[in-house]
Amino acid sequence: MCRSALWYVFKTSGNAYILNRNAFFLIFRVFIFWGTVCDPYRTVALRMQCYHECYIYDFQSADDTYAFHYIPNDTSAVFMENVLLKVMNHSILDQLPTAVNVLRIEYSVALKWISVPQNLYAVEIIGTSLERIDFKANSAVKMLQIQVCDLVKVPPAMENAENLIVLEILRCKLLDLDMASFCENPFLRYINLKDNRIRYVVNTSKKHCGMYNTLTHFLLQGNRLTTVNMEQWNVFVKLDTLSLVQNRITSISGQLVQHKLQTLSLHMNRLKHISTCGWYVPSLKKVDFSRNQLTVLPECINNLTSVRKLSLGYNRLANFSIESVAGMSNMTELGLACNGLTAILLNSVLFPPKLAKLDVTKNYLTSLDLTFVPVKALEVHAFSNLISSFDVNGTSPNVSHAYMLANPFCCSWEMPFEWEHVECSCSHTITNRKASPHCP
């Protein structure tokens, strides 16, 4: 090893000192350059910069671990960029100082295999060709994020990461998911597998897994699921959020029984029919069925009495009656934008008792009857329709806000009872009533 080629430069930050815990500490920066003098075959020089954390650039060989000895004793985080090795095994990373518990490796397309040191608390690997990651038994890692990689399955060595709490594998190449892969992670709370290629989800575990009692968030956005059995999520007794956004789901089956679930999203799929019959979700607050292909409301939707926000926008509902959701006794917000609605019935005593906001933006409505609204204050969004008939003088005083711009007949107000003094107008720019609303 050619130590004469290692330059160690110490600089003060303008000779500045700070008071910390009644003691003065010198703020310093360390720069290390491993020159090409030591290795004539190197294409780039190792660079290292330390402040509160250390940044290492162009790590190329096992010999470069010599730089680890210059990491200050109080440094807990090391960030490595443009690692030029294919494999970073324990013989390399175990030489990091014991005080280092956070490691981030990014923009290192050569890297395919990494062995995580036992003492690391958080590991972040971004922009690599990672195909394999190993953990020693009883690994201390609690947070693992892998983003942009070549993993095709959940790493088997995950079973050694017994203390893991947060797992993110994003924009990689996972093809399927067996939830049994996490059975040896009893503290796992958060799983995010966004933007992979997952085609199906199963659970082959024959035993009760510890993470059934801890997991709160399961995010599978941007994958390739086509069918989902909702019952497979019932094992997670503390599940708070389930996201199946932007898949290719055409059907869901099974009875969802979740005591703690608060947010469910099936946004941007290909569902033509949804049945919530038999579901028991007493804590559910937000449900998003928007951007699907629904022509009728989800079956048994009135069973979801705890839901506060229901999103049904960007579907294919042609008609809607408020009576069809009157049983949703806690709903405060209902979204029906961009459905192609030609008719809507709101004038009924059968009305969600807490509804405060109704969005029917960008539909084909030609009239809107708000003469009878049996709730205290309702905000109505109805802009970009084809409304030419509206009785402003007969409007219920319970309509506190109305937004009706971009209609043949425009009438809007933003304060309760302001409708009594509002001046409505006709838009001469909207003449083609068959024109389709802009719904991207």
**257-304 confidence digits (pLDDT tens):** 999 999 999 999 999 999 999 999 999 999 999 999 999 999 999 999
Asked if pLDDT for residue 42 goes beyond 70, the answer is: no
Contact yes or no for 365/341 (Cβ under 8 A): yes
Lowest mean pLDDT among 13-22, 63-72, 293-302, 339-348: 13-22
Rounded to the nearest angstrom, the gap between the alpha carbon of residue 184 and the centroid of all alpha carbons in its chain is 24
7 burial (CB, 10 Å; 0-12 / 13-18 / 19+) is: exposed
Q: What is the arithmetic mean of pLDDT over 123-130?
A: 98
Q: And the tokens for 380?
A: 């109505």
Asked if pLDDT for residue 45 goes beyond 90, the answer is: no
Q: And the tokens for 248?
A: 């290719």
Tens-place pLDDT, residues 210-230:
999 999 999 999 999 999 999
Contacts of 145 (CB under 8 A, 6+ apart): 123, 124, 125, 126, 166, 168, 170
Output DSSP code: residue 65. Answer: G
Which residue has tokens 């960008």? Answer: 362
pLDDT at 421: 67
pLDDT over 90 for what percent of the chain? 80
Q: What is the mean pLDDT of the chain?
A: 88
Sequence ranges of the domains in the chain = 317-415
According to DSSP, the β-strands at 54-57 and 46-50 are antiparallel
Lowest mean pLDDT among 36-40, 59-63, 420-424: 36-40
**Cα-based distances in Å from 119 to 37, 71, 92, 95, 378:** 34, 16, 14, 11, 56
CA distance 243 to 2: 54
CA distance 72 to 57: 17
Q: What is the arithmetic mean of pLDDT over 101-125?
A: 97
pLDDT at 430: 47
Asked if pLDDT for residue 31 goes beyond 50, the answer is: no
Q: Which helix (H) or strand (E) holds 91?
A: helix 90-93
Lowest mean pLDDT among 14-23, 113-122, 182-191: 14-23
Contact yes or no for 118/140 (Cβ under 8 A): yes
Contacts of 239 (CB under 8 A, 6+ apart): 215, 216, 217, 218, 233, 258, 260, 261
Lowest mean pLDDT among 47-51, 162-166, 358-362, 425-429: 425-429
What does pTM read for this prediction?
0.88
Asked if pLDDT for residue 122 goes beyond 70, the answer is: yes
CATH architecture, domain defined by 317-415? Alpha-Beta Horseshoe (3.80)
